[in-house]
Amino acid sequence: MTKVDVFESEAPGEAGQIDELLKTARTRIAAHLYPIKRPSAGVGITPTPLGSLLVAEGPRGLLMIRYLAPGEAAKAIGMMREKFDPVEDQSVADRVGCEVGSYLGGDQSALRSKIDLALVKSDFHRAALRCLCEVPIGALITYGALADQARAPGAQRAIAMGANLLPIYVPCHRVICADGFVGNYTGGAERKLKLLRAEGFDKFDARMHVTKESLLGHRKTFIYCRQDCHAASRANPLNAMIFADASHARASGLRPCRLCHPE
């Protein structure tokens, strides 16, 4: 066999080996490059009954909603750049604006956009926000009860709802003080009240305190009571939620107390 014959017979095998090496190299390079690749996040501003909102959405859902204030847009976009490349996308903002408007207009199923907590830095806050998403429409929870649900009892001071990057959709407006006062809100008390009224809580006194007409629900017994019920007074307050009315309590799967008959 001549040198030419040997070369011609071995070339296909060598070419196959080279292809395998290149394939392996590409896979390894891609694995190293993946962490530094940043997906795009569509960003826009929309008017709503709550004021103008800056909205950002990534591939997996909404990343951020901010009530606009001086300097807030630049701060929010700077925060997103850590993991995403912000690009202008007004359609994202328009869709969220329509959902929020419909929600405040009475459509309690309007907030359909998915959420993504990728920008939340703390595992503790991420756990608290996930628990908060389980508080149903027409219900309130205290900071202490939320900390207990997040398996951090006694850490109510650490649950700062300012860490919520997705207000309205992650309903931090449903968190109140242990004494029944509405409490603070990242968008201000008036916005908080507007959201709560849209969810059935139209009974607050002049001091923005939950009135006695609201009902107490228990997330362990699945029973709801009047606030002056003897059974309610014996229940652990960390397991309690406050419901706007009986219809919201029943919609959350609770049954009425047989002692106080709160129907």
Which residues are part of the catalytic machinery? 172
Beta pairing partners, 46: 53
Angle at 169 between CA 166 and CA 173, to 5 degrees: 85
Q: Rounded CA gap, 123 and 98, in Å? A: 31
Backbone angles phi, psi at 34, to 5 degrees: -55, -45
Alpha helices in the chain (DSSP H): 3-33, 72-80, 90-104, 123-132, 143-149, 189-198, 230-234, 246-251
Bridge partners, 57 (sequence order):
42, 62
End-to-end, the C-alpha distance of the chain in Å comes to: 99
**Cα 127 from Cα 133, distance rounded (Å):** 10
Q: Closest Cα to residue 186, out of 114, 102, 129?
A: 129
166 vs 105: CA distance, rounded Å: 20
- CA distance linking residue 99 with residue 95, whole number of Å: 6
Question: Would you say 94 and 125 are in contact if contact means Cβ atoms under 8 Å apart?
Answer: no
